[in-house]
Structure formats: C-alpha cells, structure tokens
Structure 1
C-alpha cells in the first residue's frame, strides 16, 4: 500500500501520493534571532516515506538546524542518542511509533514531537501518554512546526539527563560500568541480560512488549520473539533470587516488578 507523503505547498505541509523527490521548499530566514540556537540542535526525523523525509530534512537544514532521517523504528532506537530532538512519525513499517516513543523515554529525556496522520483525540492522548512532548497532526504548517520545536526545546533542553544509574529498592543498575548489584553485592550478568534488565527497569510502570525487546536488546526487528527472551528472563530471575523482579504479562511482554 502506498504511503502518504508530507510535501509542502504554499507554506503548508500536506499529505500527497508521490514518487518524485521534492525541490527544496523552505528558504532560509536571514537574520533569524534564533540562528545560533538552531545551529546547535541535532534533529532526528523518523519518517517512513522517503520523499517526505528528504523534504522535511531539507527544510530544517535551510533553517539552520542539523537534521538527518531514518525510516524505521529499529533505526530510530539506534540513532536517537545522537539527537537533541526527535520528530517521530507513528506509522512505521516495523514498530509502532508509540513503542519507539516508549523506548526513547525509557532511557533518556530527549524531546520527542509526534508528527503523524493519526488525528483523533484518543490518538493524541496515547501519543502524549507514551512520552511525546508535543503532538502534530498532518497536514500542518512548517512555520508552526518550527515554533513548536523551539517551544519544546526551551522547556526541555536544560533538563535533558541520561539515566545512567537506576536504583529500584535494593537493586542498583549502573549503565556506565554495566554492573548490577543487589543489597550491595555484585551480580554477574551477561551483556544481553544487562540490556534486558536495564530496559525493563527504565520503565517500571509500563509493559515492554516482546517485539520491543527484540529490537532494543537483540537488534532484531524481523525474527519472531521466542525462547531467547524467555531463557534470558529465567536466568535473570535466578540471579536476582526472585521471579517477582520480572513479571510476565501474558500475550504482551514483561513488566519490571519488585519482590
């Protein structure tokens, strides 16, 4: 099925079926007072439609931003740490954009603006609950997008903190040294076990789907989640001394718990 593009016409961003690469549509703004701020911002565009992504990246660059794009949720979860802000389309070929947003929010406070054709009130609520800082529905105006980017960055940039150390009761997970300790005693875990535990502990109130685990821990969006995850969960439960640290949510995935 052909995807909807985001292409500009007379200052608007609209949805349109196309296979042509658009010409650069957005002239730079001379003497822009925010030029210095924009030049320091790295924006990641997550957009499945190639021409739309090229158009949006081109417009951002012409307004002084550093911008690049990826076209899948898997690549977004690999690249977002190098960005200061993410423009996230929710309709992606491998992962739902809400899962990607959850994944980003689980590990850091990088601002996310959902840019999507999903426009119902429920869609907006779900997007904001997933962790997006703002929500824009296609079609939208490019000047409005610029204003929202600057507003989000004014609120978010001073608070951006990567969660290197997670402490959940007696359990301490240090992403800098990749060490896990329980009641002060170090627990030896494998690389995948650490990544799995860190991801679950990063979002203790939410359920992490098996598909999200496969993408973020095993870097695999194609394989069907199977015994690999269960084996690692079982091993972690044994090392932590209780199955309550990781709770199975049948048919969905896993939730971080506490014994």
Structure 2
C-alpha cells in the first residue's frame, strides 16, 4: 500500500481526491495548507505528494523546496494557473509533474502510478537491481557484492530487495514488517532488527548502506568506494 499526501486548501477537492485514491488502495493523508503539509511530512514517510501550488501560509513551491532539501519524495503540483512561468518554476524546484485544474481523476491516478513505478528502484531490463557495488538478480534470487556472490536466507534477501526498491527513503519498522513479512508480521517482535543485523553481516564492507534512523526505522543509501 502506498502512502499519499494530498496538500490542497479546497476541502471539496481534497475530499474528492482522497476518496478516489482510497478506493484505489492508497493510504491517504490530508493537509489544508503548506504548514500542515510540512508537519505531516515530518510525521511519516510518503511515497508521493500531491501539492496544490496556491495554498495559504506556505505555497506549494516553498513546500516542494523543503521536501527536496530532505530527500527525493515524488511531487505532483496541482494548480489552476496555466502560466508558463509558473510551470517552469515548478520544474525548477524539481517537481516530478504538473497537473492543471480541472483534471481527470483517472489521468491523475495514471500519472501517480507511472511516477511510483519509476521511483521504486532502478531495475534494469535484465531484471537486476544495482546500487553502489550491490547487485540483485531478481529472477535467480542471487546477490553479488563487489563482484562476489553472497549467500542470503530468503527473508534477508527479501529485505535487501525492499530496501533497494526504496533507496533513500526512511522506512519504519511497521512498514518493513508489513511489506517483507506480510500476514506473518504479527508473529515477529524483533524480527526487523535481527534480520537487518544478518543483512549487514552479509553485505560486509557495504553494510554502511543501511542507516539506523533513531526512534523511526532504517534507510538504505548507496555507499561509495570512498565511504566503505
């Protein structure tokens, strides 16, 4: 399930978007202005943000700048303004897309899904995930670290795949349990921490790619040769 933040100052529009995406299986949070949007972003990790440009307190451009200072969460601007300079400004603050009102909800949903597919991980045509010396062959379920094959138990392998598909995103223990353990999540208490310990051991010199975010969870970041 994807976490979606809808930051929109028009209540009716916000509710319409929320209801539509919830029916599509998204978990949706709302914000009525830029300040509340930043508060929500500080409380949890979102997979994508739908951001109205003209909001009170802080406009969408300012919120997007704040998002980019902390990471690369995808952002789609929602706006009634058609001016080219506004669209250019949106891309200057590194928004991923720009949708003008009124818009089609199915089209917006298609744009959201396309961006989420691109952002989940750099998967090559050969079915492999690569990041900083680590390579996963998804079809063969094999891991190579700095050119050497590394044996991993199934759950450790699944955890590494989930991390690499969500590179540079902070993941809570609850998210990891839900996505990696699924229906069996309730059976495990310290399963995440124990499995991450095993994963770090398996990665050897590349273990630093898994960062502990105190009181929150974990984050996968690429480790360069200089950082090993």
**What are the within-5 Å matches in structure 2 for residues 41-190 of structure 1?**
47=18, 52-53=19-20, 69-70=24-25, 73=27, 89-91=28-30, 99-101=45-47, 114=50, 121=58, 124-125=63-64, 131-136=73-78, 144-146=102-104, 149=107, 153=111, 163-164=122-123, 165-190=128-153
In structure 1, what is the equivalent of residue 210 of structure 2? 246
Deviation of 1:143 after TM superposition, in Å, equals: 5.7
Deviation of 1:132 after TM superposition, in Å, equals: 3.1
Deviation of 1:174 after TM superposition, in Å, equals: 2.5
Q: Where does structure 2 lack aligned partners over 5 or more consecutive residues?
A: 1-9, 31-39, 80-99
TM-score by length of 2: 0.52
In structure 1, what is the equivalent of residue 180 of structure 2? 217
Q: How many residues matched? A: 167
Paired residues of 1:249 and 1:255 also in contact (CA < 8 A): yes
CA RMSD of the aligned region, Å?
4.7
Q: Where does structure 1 lack aligned partners over 5 or more consecutive residues?
A: 1-11, 18-44, 58-67, 74-88, 102-111
Deviation of 1:144 after TM superposition, in Å, equals: 1.5
Paired residues of 2:170 and 2:213 also in contact (CA < 8 A): yes
TM-score by length of 1: 0.47
Which structure is larger by alpha-carbon Rg, 1 or 2?
A: 1
Q: Which has the higher helix share?
A: 2
Q: Could you list the per-position Cα deviations for residues 98-141 of structure 1 after superposition, in whole angstroms to 9, with x for gaps in the alignment?
A: 6341xxxxxxxxxx66279xx5637843677653341449xxxx
Q: Distance in 2 between matches of 1:230 and 1:148?
A: 40
